[in-house]
Amino acid sequence: MALRDCLDGTGRRPALRHALHALAHNRAGNVAVLFALLSIPMLGAIGAAIDFAKAQSMQTRLQTALDAAVLAGVNQEAGQQIARAQAVFGLNFLEPSLALNLNFRENPDGSLTGQVSTDVATTVSALIGVDSLPVSTLATASLKRTQNRVCILTLDQSGAPGLLVNSGAEVIASECEIHVRATGFPAATINALTTLDVQRVCVRGHDVLVNGSAKRPETGCEAIDDPFRGTLPTPSLTCTVSYPPPYTAASVTLSPGTYCGDLIFHGGPTIDLLPGVYVIRGRMMLNAGTVLRGEGVSLYFPDSTSTMQANNAVRLELTAPTSGLFSDILISEPPGLPRSSFVINAGLGQAFRGLIYLPSRDITVNAMTGTTDATALVANTLTLNQGTWKLDGGRKVMTGASGQHSAYLVD
């Protein structure tokens, strides 16, 4: 357009003025410029999201491999955990071209910690100067040992054997263990034609004798120590009944107290014990056919010469108190007494409820019947002869590590 075409007769330029006005109101050019200016941060944000997702995926892969590594490693013995963890990590994370900083450490509490870090190369973010993103993860695994109920514990470490199970004896305690602390030869003897239906027979020593197809104990295991030593109460030893004459009646009722001297019962009487604590400072002699029964009772033998002796079959129906100092303690003695014997001969039946704690006694159990006793037994040594004894451990619980354990991740 020539300049004169923009002029009117007055010398003004209306056409030029119109062209400038149209240019000022044209939005297309402005949008293009604005989009060009905004595209740089938009591309950066999109690139960061893509690369962040890539780094997050890598972290998930590393975490999965590290979790598997520490769970496998913590199951090994101390000193072998790290090697096992490294091997398992390598099996689960196969990317040899990626540089990793991988470390494991065995902790004093037995747990195992692993840590891994790396740099993940970026793609789009590299256009804005971010060449890599750091990724790291941590995992710790520990062991949870199963705590099983212990129904029978023998304490004599030099005993040979600490546990003797003779032919015809049965122990039915499917939710309990038997623990033997003996380390002599043999630490335990299990003869043929016996039944030990228990979770485990744990023998601290390594030498046992097992005859026939009897259940073989686990040797060299962690048999628990006496959990009750120094924790049980001591009653008054002041005599309330001194040297009583022999009881000749067919039915006898006794009251709680301290009985000094032998308790002798002629014939085969029924002896009823009123609720309370009975201190026996002498021998309680039970003849064949005797029935000894009592609810809420506790028998205490203060020295090695005090005992309950039943040379022939008797019936024992005894339950411990459910409250007070002697709650759930059925038969007990102080620890540290000289070694002595104690015979339980319940050929006519028995019903026990409560702890039998005789840590210095070599206990012989004869002819038990098949009723279930809510009791646990602590003895110096134990001999089980013919008969069936069912146990569930009672309320005075002894527990021990079963040897079984499960690994878990620590939060």
DSSP string covering 169-213, please? EEEEEEEEEEEE---SSSSEEE-SS-EEEEEEEEESSS-EEE-TT
**Over pLDDT 70: what percentage of the chain?**
85
Residue with the two structure tokens 């037994």 = 377
Residue-level pLDDT at 55: 84
Assess whether 305 and 230 both reside in one domain. Answer: yes
DSSP 167: T
Which amino acid, 234? T
Assess whether 118 and 64 both reside in one domain. Answer: yes
| pTM, 2 dp | 0.69
Q: Is residue 73 part of a domain?
A: yes
Assess whether 61 and 181 both reside in one domain. Answer: no
Assess whether 288 and 385 both reside in one domain. Answer: yes
Cα–Cα dist 89/83, whole Å: 10
Q: Profile the chain (411 residues) by mean pLDDT over runs of 10 residues.
A: 46 50 51 50 68 87 95 91 95 88 94 94 73 90 84 94 95 94 96 92 95 87 94 97 95 98 95 99 95 98 95 92 97 97 91 97 89 94 93 88 74 74
Assess whether 214 and 67 both reside in one domain. Answer: no
Q: Is residue 160 part of a domain?
A: yes
Residue-level pLDDT at 52: 82
Assess whether 204 and 312 both reside in one domain. Answer: yes
Cα–Cα dist 164/337, whole Å: 22
| C-alpha dihedral, 173 to 175 to 176 to 177, nearest 10° | 100
Asked whether 302 and 283 are in contact (CB, 8 A), the reply is no
Which domain-ending residue is among 99, 130, 161?
Answer: 130
Assess whether 115 and 185 both reside in one domain. Answer: no
Assess whether 192 and 307 both reside in one domain. Answer: yes
Assess whether 117 and 253 both reside in one domain. Answer: no
Q: Is residue 62 part of a domain?
A: yes
Q: Is residue 135 part of a domain?
A: no
Q: Is residue 411 part of a domain?
A: no
Q: Which positions ≥6 away from 134 have C-beta within 8 Å? A: 117, 118, 119, 120
Q: Is residue 308 part of a domain?
A: yes
Assess whether 181 and 321 both reside in one domain. Answer: yes
The whole domain housing 33 covers: 28-130
Which domain-ending residue is among 71, 102, 130?
Answer: 130
- Tell me the Ramachandran region of residue 31: left when phi exceeds 0, alpha when psi lies from -120 to 50, beta otherwise: alpha
Residue-level pLDDT at 3: 42
Which domain-ending residue is among 87, 103, 130?
Answer: 130
Q: Is residue 58 part of a domain?
A: yes
Residue with the two structure tokens 């060299």 = 220
Assess whether 94 and 160 both reside in one domain. Answer: no
Q: How many domains does the chain have?
A: 2
Assess whether 308 and 339 both reside in one domain. Answer: yes
Q: Which positions ≥6 away from 85 have C-beta within 8 Å? A: 69, 70, 72, 73, 104, 112, 114
In 3D space, the residue among 401, 357, 393 whose CA is nearest the CA of residue 171 turns out to be 393
Measure Cα distances from 155 to 43, 191, 234, 238, 319 in Å. 76, 21, 21, 30, 24
Residue-level pLDDT at 5: 46
* Token pair listed for 8: 């009117």
Q: Is residue 108 part of a domain?
A: yes
